[in-house]
Amino acid sequence: MDLLMDHLSKITQLCDIDGIPEDLKRHLGAASEIVHEMIQRPRGDHLDQASRNRKERDSLFNQVYKMLTQLTRPKRILCLPHHSKGNLQDLLKHLAEDGEIVSCVSGSEQELPSKESSSGKKIQTQFGKTEDILKRFAASGEQYDMVFIDATEENPINYYNLIMNSNMLKMDGVICVQNVPANETRSREHINDEMGLRSEGMTDVINADTRVKQVVLPVEGVTILKRSPVSHVADTMGAVMDDVFRGLNGRSILERLCLDGKVAYITGGGQGIGRAFAHALGEAGAKVAVVDMALEKAEAVANELHLKGIQSVAMAADISKEEDVKRVMDTIVANWGKIDIACNNAGINMNSASEDTTMEEWDKTFSVNLRGLFMCCQAAGRIMLSQGYGKIINTASMASLIVPHPQKQLAYNTSKAGVVKLTQTLGTEWIDRGVRVNCISPGIVDTPLIHSEALKPLVTRWLADIPAGRLAQVTDLQAAVVYLASEASDYMTGHNLVIEGGQSLW
């Protein structure tokens, strides 16, 4: 601001000659006045803070920290120094489930209870010299998602160095330093007290550290630090500078699993496994078209996604009908311009002993499970081949590998074995044009369907056959669909990913 004012004054002097348009002089005068006013305004740096009421500042810090915690949902927070009990409880509310706040207090254990807990999340209080506590944490390999440091504390630079040098900050972790004077507000008179000197020193250390990127908030000298991308770190001695170290295309493995910007559809998305897949793909960043024969179910799931901030649309379609399949593909491309992820999941199972299986049952099973699924693969595949990229994920079943018993389901088992062979064939036929085709084979999934009295004896029998000792939950399958939909699995094709708690191995 001072520099700007200086320039403006010089321009004003230079303009004080005949022939300069009046309008230009007027605008120049107005601009100079605004800058002058801004220079006069209090700046909220640490000198001002010193004179302010501590409670007021604490409450401001607390608001900022609450917001940050809400945004980043950390699991473990380290507080140096100790924050007030009320502030910690506030932060606790926004912590991930099973999260923990570790608060360092210089003093004896009698002052505060060493542990408090609320809804599984807890506050752990550590007593003693902060530096000693940090050294102990460093030795035992503790890591945190968020660390709060007060730059006016006794040894903030030592705390900072201990945290950074011993990797106490997680890879995506954040350090919040409070009371750091921003560079442009620094002046000699600000550092004439001991606290000021400490916080000035802290600014210098942060500025010189290439391992971190910083954002200075215009709030009471709060500075947010994140690790710099590894390519910006000055000292990478001893590291092999390849895709493994830097991450493929500079992206970490979690970033490579991310589906931001991708367009997905899921058939049979109105309930059960399809609903869980729709949530998983949406949570990972994709836009999701929820396709189901029952429109109201598809709408309910699309609404759930919408509530979570996921772009979604519900579509009614019977995937055994060619015209429905075509309409689904055309509508998605018309709305969202492409299809990156095709989840062909809709399937039916009509149990009957083989000697009693009617041709109608056989045809119906195959028309959805195999013919319908092929139509979806073909329609989505054509779009993906023209894009040069796509991921097709079919839902097969453990029944493609073993003969689940004692229930009788010949048509179903055979159709699902067909899904696997179809997946293998397409997977090899299209891989060289960028389209990967894989399938997921769940074991027996715990759905309301099998909770009936009639099926209870079967469940007992199944459980005896499952090494994991339990049925699958739909949530057990979610990571697999995200992996197969993401670029992290680009080299995988024609694969049958079996998730059955070991059942097919016994």
Ligand X SMILES: NC(=O)c1ccc[n+]([C@@H]2O[C@H](COP(=O)([O-])OP(=O)(O)OC[C@H]3O[C@@H](n4cnc5c(N)ncnc54)[C@H](O)[C@@H]3O)[C@@H](O)[C@H]2O)c1
Q: Which CB, 79 or 481, lies closer to ligand X?
A: 481
Q: Where are the alpha helices (DSSP H) in 225-294?
A: 243-246, 253-256, 272-283
How far from 70 is each of 66, 85, 284, 316, CA to CA, in Å? Answer: 6, 18, 19, 36
Q: Which CB, 91 or 305, lies closer to ligand X?
A: 305
Which one, of 144, 142, 208, 217, lies nearest residue 177 by Cα? 217
- Closest separation in Å from C-beta 53 to ligand X: 59
Burial (CB count <10 Å: 0-12, 13-18, 19+), residue 436: buried
Beta bridge partners of 118: 121
Choose the catalytic residue: 144, 160, 412, 483: 412
Helices 194-208 and 156-165, packing angle to 10 deg: 20
- Closest separation in Å from C-beta 498 to ligand X: 10
CA distance 262 to 443: 28
Q: Which CB, 81 or 272, lies closer to ligand X?
A: 272
Reported as half-sphere exposure (CB side, CA atoms, 13 A), residue 412 has a value of: 19
Q: Is 412 a catalytic residue?
A: yes
Q: Which CB, 218 or 469, lies closer to ligand X?
A: 469
Residues that bind ligand X (CB under 6 A): 267-268, 270-274, 292-294, 297, 317-320, 345-349, 368, 372, 395, 397, 442, 444-445, 447
- Closest separation in Å from C-beta 285 to ligand X: 23
Torsion, CA 192, CA 197, CA 203, CA 207, rounded to 10: 100
Q: Which CB, 125 or 395, lies closer to ligand X?
A: 395
Which one, of 95, 83, 205, lies nearest residue 145 by Cα? 95
Q: Which CB, 181 or 501, lies closer to ligand X?
A: 501
Q: Is the peptide bond before 42 cis (omega within 30 degrees of 0)?
A: no
- Closest separation in Å from C-beta 436 to ligand X: 20
Question: What residue ranges in 106-192 does DSSP mark as E strands?
Answer: 115-118, 121-127, 144-150, 169-178
Which one, of 137, 422, 393, lies nearest residue 274 by Cα? 393
- Closest separation in Å from C-beta 324 to ligand X: 8
Q: Which CB, 169 or 368, lies closer to ligand X?
A: 368
- Closest separation in Å from C-beta 474 to ligand X: 7
Number of Cβ within a 10 Å radius of residue 81? 17
Q: Is the peptide bond before 448 cis (omega within 30 degrees of 0)?
A: no
- Closest separation in Å from C-beta 397 to ligand X: 4
Distance between start and end Cα atoms, the chain: 75
Kindly list the catalytic residues.
412
